[in-house]
Structure 1
Amino acid sequence: MRIPHLKYFWLLLCLVVTACHSPVPEVKAMDDHQKELQEISEQIQDGDLVLRLGNDITSNILAQLNLKDKRFSHIGICFVENGTKLVYHSVGSEYGTHNLLRKDSLQNFLDLSNNLSIGYCRTGLNMVHLKHIHDTLAQWYLQQIPFDMDFDWQSDDKMYCSELVAKAIMRGTDSVVIPITDTLGRQYFSIDNILGTFPTDSTGYYTRSLRKQ
């Protein structure tokens, strides 16, 4: 009668040993992710769109607002200031009271410990247009524009992430028009509408299991 119990004991022991050793490959995997993060960060240039998909439920829901390309839930624009790559972006209430237009380091924006996928898109816009976009974002940053929880693209006193990027691009150029998504009675700027405005071969993409350039 004791043999089955002994069998279960050894099975449990094997599971415990396996569990104790499981963090080792995970650490190696994260090291590999950090190498990819460093590589893709080095490729990002002044004026590139930067993208990510968070590892939380809210990010997954936001990604579904994209009708065609659901790889990303958040977008910003990277500019180099005093030799440092910084990302202008607007984030919501998960950041508590700091739900204002932010200017974070590129490394922090793309942090793979908080994101499942990261990427960038090169717009191909000229230096004059990029300067106008940068100046527009810098002005909005000083104004401390808050995140728009109502997702109302028709007002400028508050802006959600893709609205911020779309409006900055259109106001900084005289030729780019980013379309509005109209679905289920709601209109909004989606991330895939912004990406669809620029050549698809200008996008770099990395996720936990796949990398594309």
Structure 2
Amino acid sequence: MLKRKIVILILLILSTLLYFFSKNTNPKKQIVVYEKLPSIKFPTEKLNDGDIILRRGYGVDSTIALNFSEGEKRYSHAGIIRKKEDNIFVDHIIDDKEKGIDGIFEEPLANFLNGVSIWAIYRFPFSSEDKKDLINYIDKLKIKNIHFDIDFNLYDDAKMYCSEFVYKVINNSTPYKIKAEKIFAGERYVTISDLYENNNAYLIQRSHRKLNEREKIR
């Protein structure tokens, strides 16, 4: 397992370096420019159970995660919104040795977004019953003591990485199916862009927009 982790890490780093090299040396390669929307406030009042929340970090792991996405390379971490009375939480899976957390972690929305300037909310058209099933499925996973998947093995349900967690929760508890589009070094992965660049997810709001892009925000 350790050998697999090292090989995957090396390949991820190489793919990230290759992405930056090709972007900087190929003048024909499209460069995506984003514009911050200072008037946009986080849409707390619009959130529903089951919404996908995305954020961007700037550490080494975050940079690798966002550049590993099959599509848009914008976000480095994902979680799922859940509401409890007047409070909003995020369920996500992390491996944070400083906090002593290795697995599914529920934290207040404000903590999840602390220090974050790039974020987005996407939604699937879940029914009320879908949302209940989704939350119940997450609670069942918590009982199983799922750990963070440092091997990034999509076929091992005892461990999950962040996009895998969202992917399996939605695919196993609702009628909607996310496709794991990334094939890398002969292995299949679900990347962060797979979670929202599909025929079912739609944008609620995000902190930035692409220049020359008019977005339909629901």
Q: So what's the TM-score if we normalise by structure 1?
A: 0.73
Residues 209 and 107 of structure 1: is their aligned pair in 2 closer, same or farther, counting only changes over 3 Å? Answer: farther
Of the structure 1 ranges 141-150 and 39-48, higher mean CA displacement relative to structure 2 is found in 39-48
What stretches of structure 2 of length at least 5 have no aligned partner? Answer: 1-36
Greater RCO, 1 or 2 (C-alpha within 8 Å, sep 6+): 2
SS in 2 for 1:99: strand
Match for residue 46 of structure 2 among 43, 48, 58: 43
Report the CA distance between 1:120 and its aligned residue.
0.6
Report the CA distance between 1:199 and its aligned residue.
4.6
SS in 1 for 2:160: coil
- Counterpart position of 1:145: 146
Residues 43 and 99 of structure 1: is their aligned pair in 2 closer, same or farther, counting only changes over 3 Å? Answer: same
For this pair of structures, how many residues does the alignment match? 178
Corresponding position: 1:124 with 2:125: yes
Q: So what's the TM-score if we normalise by structure 2?
A: 0.72
SS in 2 for 1:152: coil
Residues 110 and 178 of structure 1: is their aligned pair in 2 closer, same or farther, counting only changes over 3 Å? Answer: same
- Answer 1 or 2: which has greater strand percent: 2
Structure exhibiting the larger radius of gyration computed from Cα positions? 1
- Answer 1 or 2: which has greater helix percent: 1
**Deviation string, structure 1 residues 38-78 (Cα, Å, up to 9, x no partner):** x3333322221100011222211110111211111111110
Match for residue 68 of structure 1 among 60, 67, 71: 71
Instruction: Tell whether the 8 Å contact from 1:54 to 1:116 is kept in structure 2 after alignment.
Output: no
Match for residue 81 of structure 1 among 69, 79, 84: 84
> Aligned partners of 1:159 and 1:95: how far apart in 2?
19
Corresponding position: 1:155 with 2:156: yes
> Aligned partners of 1:85 and 1:153: how far apart in 2?
29
What is the one-letter code of the residue matched to 2:59? D
Instruction: Tell whether the 8 Å contact from 1:90 to 1:147 is kept in structure 2 after alignment.
Output: yes
> Aligned partners of 1:207 and 1:57: how far apart in 2?
22
Report the CA distance between 1:144 and its aligned residue.
2.5
Report the CA distance between 1:185 and its aligned residue.
2.2
Instruction: Tell whether the 8 Å contact from 1:41 to 1:106 is kept in structure 2 after alignment.
Output: no
> Aligned partners of 1:200 and 1:173: how far apart in 2?
13
- Counterpart position of 1:58: 61
Residues 208 and 56 of structure 1: is their aligned pair in 2 closer, same or farther, counting only changes over 3 Å? Answer: farther
